[in-house]
Amino acid sequence: MEVSERKFIHIVNYLVFGNIFIAICAVLMSYYTFVVFSSPLNFTLLGFIFFASISSYSFHSYLPTTEKEYSEKVTWGLQHRKYFLTLLIVGAIGSTVFLYFFNQDLKLILTLIVFTVLYSSPKIKFEKFSFFKRFGTAKTLYLALIWTLVTVSLPLSMITSYDGNAGVLFFLNRFFLIYAICVLFDLKDKEYDIQRGIRSIITILDEKKIQMLFIITLILFFISSFAFFIFRNSGLIITTLIIPGILLLFLLKKSKETKSDYWFSFLLDGVMMLSSILYLIATGIKKLY
């Protein structure tokens, strides 16, 4: 392997495995919510979401793993625990600073912080936290809900006026997209969850039924996408909204066959922010012409 290639992989690992990439995803998804509802950007919120994502994911990565077989991502994480601790501290400080400048009600934000910590509770070796393993059947729903609340509900809470029905429909649309992606992640982690004694929908269902769940979720995603056109009569918005769902259909087969951390942590996570990227590209080209 050439030196330049090693350096490239080194940088990619820090971005993807080091939780920078996923934090960027959260910011761009939140940005897209502001765009869809034709609202000015709230940079204080976007800054908070970036640092809070860094902090929460670094906290989860820093906790000891219970996996018996280490993937490339887990191995990298074990070798960079000090890095995760540093990011945890930086993220906590950064999110606290941005939180200080909020003028809005902080109840939703504080609730989400608690829920995020509870998601990592199965990795904490403390007897009382083992209680949360009982909620494993809702693990996928739980994670998709947190992501939707952060990237949709938080931005909407900063918008002074918008159609409530449009807000609910967009919330459901984003939830279905994230849930479909979470199903693919859980399919990859099925054996690991069984090892940890976590019962979830994915560990209970066989592969055929899991695929059916995935397809039904995407159908609901497409229905909500086209229904949203009633409230946001924009070809650009609807096009950028549905493309990630179409792409997921083509990624299903490979996602069932591979356990590559780059495939999941880069490509599939990246699908979540694809609408934002496509919108930025389209508006950028439009400005040029």
Q: Give the model confidence (pLDDT) of 209-261 as tens digits.
A: 889 999 999 999 999 999 998 888 888 999 999 999 999 999 999 998 898 99
- Res 139 pLDDT > 90: no
Please give the Cα distance from 254 to 130 (Å, whole number).
34
User: What is the pLDDT, as a whole number, of residue 98?
Assistant: 94
Q: How high is the pLDDT of residue 61?
A: 87
pLDDT at residue 220, rounded to an integer: 98
- Give 255's contacts (C-beta < 8 A, 6+ positions apart): 184, 187, 188, 263, 264, 268
Domain extent at residue 10? 3-288
- Write down the pLDDT at residue 186: 83
Q: How far apart are CA 20 and CA 112, in angstroms?
A: 20
The count of structural domains within the chain is 1
Whole-structure pTM value: 0.91
Q: What DSSP letter does each residue of the chain carry, written as one string?
A: --HHHHHHHHHHHHHHTTTHHHHHHHHHHHHHHHHHTT----HHHHHHHHHHHHHHHHHHHHSPP--SS--HHHHHHHHTHHHHHHHHHHHHHHHHHHHHT--S--HHHHHHHHHHHHHTGGGS--GGGGGGGGGGGGHHHHHHHHHHIIIIIHHHHT-S---HHHHHHHHHHHHHHHHHHHHHHHHHTHHHHHHTT---HHHHS-HHHHHHHHHHHHHHHHHHHHHHTTT---HHHHHHHHHHHHHHHHHHHHHHH---HHIIIIIIHHHHTHHHHHHHHHHHHHHH-
Q: What is the mean pLDDT of residues 104-113?
A: 81
Q: How far is CA 134 from the centre of its chain?
A: 23
Categorize the per-residue pLDDT at 132 as very low, low, confident or very high, splitting at 50, 70 and 90.
low
At 15, list the tokens: 């971005």
- Asked if the model's pLDDT at residue 50 lies above 60, the reply is yes
Residue 112: the pLDDT is 84
